[in-house]
Amino acid sequence: MKIYDFEGFPNPARVRIALAEKGLMDQVEFVTVDVPSGEHQKEAFLKKNPSGAVPVLELEDGTTIAECTAITEYLDHVSGETSLTGNTPKERAVIHMMQRRAESGLLDAVATYFHHATPGLGPDIEGYQCAEWGNHQRERAIAGMRYFDSKLADQPYVAGDSFSMADITAFAGLAFADFAKIDVPDDCSNLKSWRQRIAERPSIAG
């Protein structure tokens, strides 16, 4: 397997955490796509993922899989018992629901703020920007933090009693928020405690 990514970016980090959780890091060849220089917008990479986003998983038969959720689904089912995407229909549904909320209401909101209301990756990469939209998404990200803080008041993980890909996405969203200088509200103690626990997992702490 090959993973096309740019180490340190939020979405590549999600897949690298999933690989570590599944014990698959030694079975993957990482291929760097130089996003800051615009390599992800070149024809060669767009053939692998028309949306131009990293990461992309490439299988030995040439199949390419984009989108972190899809990649994590594959990794979770290709090696041992599923541990990140749920087992029962109910578990799978709840995990996917919370994963999507973590993605749209936190990580993607932070990303929109970063790409629209800050210099982002620079004018050559960003192209069109709308600061008003970006700042609106900043507030949405903070609302997302408060939402997850409320959920974590009654359960240890984002989607319930077990660590899942929803936790990975939320954790990556907070890391991106740090980079974009969006602070977690002081009163989100549950979210802060959860984050500290997640950071101690071997797949993240290294």
Tell me how far apart the alpha carbons of residues 28 and 109 are, in angstroms, rounded to a whole number.
30
pLDDT at 127: 85
How many distinct helices (H) and strands (E) make up the chain?
Answer: 10, 4
Is position 84 within any domain?
A: no
pLDDT of residue 124: 84
Q: What's the confidence (pLDDT) of residue 163? A: 98
CATH number of residue 110's parent domain: 1.20.1050.10
Q: At what angle do helices 165-179 and 89-102 cross, to 10 degrees?
A: 10
The model carries a pTM of: 0.95
Cα R_g (the chain), whole angstroms: 17
Instruction: Give yes or no for a contact between 108 and 133, defined as CB atoms under 8 angstroms apart.
Output: no
In a domain, 42, yes or no: yes
Residue-number span of the structural domain to which 134 is assigned: 89-205
Q: Mark whether 193 and 100 lie in a shared domain.
A: yes
Q: Are residues 113 and 56 in the same domain?
A: no
CATH code for the domain in which residue 15 is found: 3.40.30.10
| Domains: count for the chain | 2
pLDDT of 79: 81
Q: 157 forms bridges with which residues in the sheet?
A: 160
Q: What is the pLDDT along the chain (206 residues), one digit of tens a residue?
A: 999 999 999 999 999 999 999 999 999 999 999 999 999 999 999 999 999 999 999 999 999 999 999 999 999 999 888 999 999 999 999 999 999 999 999 999 999 999 999 999 998 888 899 999 999 999 999 999 999 999 999 999 999 999 999 999 999 999 999 999 999 999 999 999 999 999 999 999 97
Residues 41 and 104 in one domain: no
